[in-house]
Amino acid sequence: MTRDQAESLAKKVLQAAKEPEVSLHLNLRRHGFLRFARNAPTTSGFTQVGEANVTAWKGKRKASASASVNLADMAEAESTLKSLVSQAEELAAVSPEDREYMPLLGPQEYVEVNGYDAETAEMPAARRTKAVSDAIETAKRQKVIAAGLFENVAQTSVLANSAGLFAHYPSSVATFSVTARSVDEQGSGYTAISSHKFASLDVKEMTAIASRKAIESRAGREIKPGAYTTILEPQAAADLISRLDFDARLSDEGRSVFTASGGKTRLGDRIFDPRVNLYVDPQHATIPSRPVGPEGYPVVKADLVREGVLKNLTYSRFWADKSKKQPGPYQTNLIIDGESTPLSKLIASTERGVLVTRLWYIRPVDPQQALFTGLTRDGTFWIEDGEIKYPIKNFRFNESPYRILGEVEALGTSQPAVSGERYGDFRMLLPAIKVKSFRFTSISDAV
């Protein structure tokens, strides 16, 4: 669906509205995938889905109506969308008032983001088959058993409203994830990588890394739980740091780790190690992301933390209006600058400590401390005298990403990472992080 087609369709639909405030969100998604397990492909598929959501306001009363829509047929789509407008308007008339009502945004300016790659978006099944075949052959050569998923997604998102706002953003992404197990089931390794350009994914190398982890992590030794110097590989760092919530309202209401005493927030305070720069950039060449935020508000490059100092919290339009602040900055990706230090040097500089590949099953414990619990998996190792000495059994941990970013001892080279429990939803670019202490609380016997 081109920009012109989307704009023409939106105008026709919005002109049919009876209420003065109506918004329309369209999403066209093409998804191809191939799963594999036990070194063999298992499930292949392709879907193309058009989705629509219409929200209408009658005064401060609002309601929404959603449906699938055939965006390949503009006449049929127009009919469906006009029906949704009528439904939303009827429901709005009997809905309660929205106590956080904000008028619709008018026309906005968005930064230009090149997040679409035709080769990735239009990838045929044969190309996915070749990628998975390469992964399986790599696993077989390494004598491990592999399972995983290769997928490509092309998406066009459209937002329009009766106040004159219009946004159109096409994007593509290819994602590959693989878990390798040793034949004796005593070792496990994992890698995941995502890019808007399929050509930048090295499936063979990712599978080889997971395979080596599986072989090297067999028969882990048990060491006593405690607080150890720890190196979090980028995957593990992404799994935990993606949990940080920079929502300003939570902070203002005393429900966040960024809350300070006396009804204040930590804005302007040095909260992390001075080497930590954490920011959003939708135009980043490696992990471009949508430039359109909630309600159509623009997403722009912005610091959340610069040299360890908290620079911004995220304000919704309602909370910004109430607090006399500017809305945003909104996060559609997350970046932490590294120091171009390879993982091998981080290990070589460690006298005694733990290397963590991945964290999973992460759940909140105390939001006011940003405290989470979870488990290590897919390769945990003991480091001594600058070398990996042997694999160790997995741990349960109780830890806060807020605390560990204040415990930074060194940063590695930034690289793309896919947070395990926000898979396919949120892209990050961040380094391996060496921290002075990471709190492991108990042993887990699971591989």
Domains parsed from the chain with CATH numbers: 3-214 (3.30.2290.10), 220-447 (no CATH)
> Of all residues in the chain, what percent carry a pLDDT higher than 70?
99
DSSP conformation class of 67: E
* Per-residue pLDDT band at 340 (split at 50, 70, 90): confident
What is the pLDDT at residue 435? Answer: 98
Question: How many Cα atoms within 13 Å fall on the side-chain side of residue 26?
Answer: 31
* Per-residue pLDDT band at 423 (split at 50, 70, 90): low
Query: Helices (H), strands (E): how many in the chain?
Result: 10, 21
* Per-residue pLDDT band at 250 (split at 50, 70, 90): very high
What is the pLDDT at residue 447? Answer: 86
User: Exposed, middle or buried, 304 (CB in 10 Å: 0-12/13-18/19+)?
Assistant: buried
Res 424 pLDDT > 80: no
Q: What amino acid is encoded at 411 in this protein?
A: L
Q: Which of 338-342, 346-350, 425-429 has the highest mean pLDDT?
A: 346-350
- Name the residue among 65, 116, 70, 119 with its Cα closest to residue 90: 65
Instruction: Quick: pLDDT tens for 347-356.
Output: 999 999 999 9
* Per-residue pLDDT band at 422 (split at 50, 70, 90): low
Which spans in 324-386 are helix H?
Answer: 343-348
pTM for this entry = 0.94
- Name the residue among 198, 204, 68, 51 with its Cα closest to residue 122: 198
Instruction: Quick: pLDDT tens for 13-54.
Output: 999 999 999 999 999 999 999 999 999 999 999 999 999 999
- The sign of the CA dihedral 391, 397, 400, 403 is negative
Pairwise CA distance, residues 87 & 397, whole Å: 49
What is the pLDDT at residue 66? Answer: 98
Q: What amino acid is encoded at 397 in this protein?
A: F
Res 231 pLDDT > 90: yes
Res 421 pLDDT > 90: no
- Name the residue among 386, 379, 436 with its Cα closest to residue 406: 436
Q: Which two tokens stand for residue 446?
A: 């699971």
User: Lowest-confidence range among 64-68, 259-263, 408-412, 436-440?
Assistant: 259-263
Pairwise CA distance, residues 130 & 44, whole Å: 13
